[in-house]
Amino acid sequence: MASFHSLPNEIFRHIFWQCDSFSQLVSLARSCKRLYELYTRDMHSIMYPFAQRHILNFDDAWVTVRATRKVVKCYASGRLPQNPLKLRTLRPPGERITLDDMKDISEWDHLLDCIENTLLTDASVDVTGLEVVRHRANWTALRRNLRRSICRLFLIGAVLCPTYQEPFQTTGPNVPAGFLEDCAYRLVKDGVRVLVEDEIQHLLTYPVLNRTVHYNAYGPDFDVLVDYLVAQARSRAQRETPPSPMYPPEAVLNGVDSNTGSILYAETVQCILAYYLIVCNRTLFTRQMNDSLPTRKVMAVFMDSFLPEEILMPDSSQTRDLLRYRELPAGATGGWGTPSRFLNDLLRYLFVSLVRRGLGSNLPLQIFQVLRDRFFGLRFSAEIVHGFLLMSQGDRESIAQIYADEWSDGVEDYWRR
């Protein structure tokens, strides 16, 4: 009878793949010299199949983790990330997963579990009430689409971080004197920091902040992200066929076929809705610190602050109302000046100013404006933004339909009002 140590490596790989968690896999690898040698030598061939099997939307999480890591590294060195952040360098062909990748992805997966369990099953957080669809046949599709949207939100935040931070730099040849001086001590109006008129006029010279004037002037930073999102939709279209077109009948497809267009449009809608469910949801995250808060944490770049932040999580994803986040300690130099730490406030005030002037919509959502216009010939109006906000505040069935890919005629009534 063959001994344990004489078994072929392929048998041990299958044993690794049957582990229930990454920590269990690592513990198994450390249990004996033979397994540890195999684990360290063939880490990618062991961990990648394991991760694909056990982590929903693993590839989405992987690219988001790597993009976030680049931003955090730049933050630590006091410089803004490269603009545009080249997505193809995050997952080049033949790239092998590392131990650091796997550790970060495991924490990221725990974050997704926490958000999912809070949104889908916690009746005390009256956000979606998606628990009503937990037993539907397409529950896995609903979870997969929701988690993909969450990953995309933070990927977009990381990639467009320098794009949104750059206009608020306080030094440079075209920066007016006194620009954003003492913004940390500005009077707060309606919960946001006030901008003066000269500062608003300077900010409106940047295409990302003034779509009305610079309608087709988005730079390569947006193009890189658009190309990535379209490529992902095309890849899905090769594996999946939507039951019917998911874009509105008035859409005029440009550069995509019907299947790709349906998936791209659905993913865009799901991301916008996730923005209001997660980024704008004040009950999901809190900045109030708690001495008993667990130490599990993950780094993320939110799509409203465009700043790397540390999210603190409960040890159990089933624990309600304990998911919290906090900003990284202030003190970064170089490209991360004082305005960077208040970008959320400044963008909100600028948005209010633009609406009063009849210009633009929610500024962090510009990437979705580009997608709707470029590939569907559709504009992105304030009514659309208001429609998504209304839906996020309680239409459980429509939200369930969107994430379960069950579109009805009434779903888009929200952003046609």
Residue 344 reports pLDDT greater than 70: yes
Most confident of 59-63, 93-97, 135-139, 340-344: 59-63
For 367, other C-beta atoms within 10 Å of its C-beta total: 24
Using the structure block, give the residue that is written with the tokens 């529950």: 139
- Whether residue 137 is contained in a domain is answered as no
Q: What is the pLDDT of residue 366?
A: 85
> Would you mind telling me the total number of residues written for the chain in this entry?
417
Of 189-198, 267-276, 338-347, the least confident: 189-198
For 178, the token pair is 């006194």
H helices present in 166-219, as ranges: 197-203
Mean pLDDT of 18-26: 78
149's CB contacts (< 8 A; 6+ apart) are 267, 270, 271, 273, 274, 403
Taking Cα atoms as reference points, which of 160, 188, 90, 198 lies closest to residue 302? 160
- Whether residue 35 is contained in a domain is answered as yes
- Whether residue 37 is contained in a domain is answered as yes
Using the structure block, give the residue that is written with the tokens 């465009």: 306
pLDDT of 266-314, one tens digit each? Answer: 999 899 989 988 887 767 776 555 555 566 888 999 998 898 888 888 7
Indicate the pLDDT class of residue 415, thresholds 50, 70 and 90.
low
H-run or E-run covering 326: strand 324-327
Taking Cα atoms as reference points, which of 393, 384, 380, 370 lies closest to residue 413? 384
d(CA 311, CA 290) in angstroms, rounded, equals 13
d(CA 126, CA 396) in angstroms, rounded, equals 10
Taking Cα atoms as reference points, which of 196, 191, 211 lies closest to residue 348? 191
Alpha carbon of residue 289 to chain centroid: 23
> Which residues on adjacent β-strands are paired with residue 309?
300, 327
Residue 155 reports pLDDT greater than 80: yes
Burial (0-12, 13-18, 19+ Cβ within 10 Å), 200: middle
Q: With pLDDT > 90 as the criterion, what percentage of the chain qualifies?
A: 17
Count: domains in the chain? 1
Range of the structural domain that residue 40 is part of: 1-54
Confirm if 386 and 122 have CB atoms less than 8 A apart: no
pLDDT of 200-210, one tens digit each? Answer: 888 988 888 87
- Whether residue 123 is contained in a domain is answered as no
pLDDT of 376-390, one tens digit each? Answer: 988 776 667 667 777
180's CB contacts (< 8 A; 6+ apart) are 168, 170, 199, 338, 339, 346
Using the structure block, give the residue that is written with the tokens 């080249």: 86
- Whether residue 306 is contained in a domain is answered as no
- Whether residue 373 is contained in a domain is answered as no
Phi-psi region of 306 (alpha: psi -120 to 50; beta: other; left: phi over 0): left
Q: What is the mean pLDDT of the chain?
A: 78
For 337, the token pair is 């000046």
Burial (0-12, 13-18, 19+ Cβ within 10 Å), 166: middle
- Whether residue 117 is contained in a domain is answered as no
Q: With pLDDT > 70 as the criterion, what percentage of the chain qualifies?
A: 75
Whole-angstrom CA distances from 283 to 176, 254, 279, 288 are 38, 39, 10, 12
Residue 73 reports pLDDT greater than 80: yes
Q: Own/partner pairs for 326-329, CB < 8 Å, 24+ apart?
A: 326/287, 326/289, 327/287, 328/75
- Whether residue 39 is contained in a domain is answered as yes
d(CA 106, CA 235) in angstroms, rounded, equals 25
- Beta strands of 177-323 (E only): which ranges? 188-189, 192-193, 296-301, 308-313
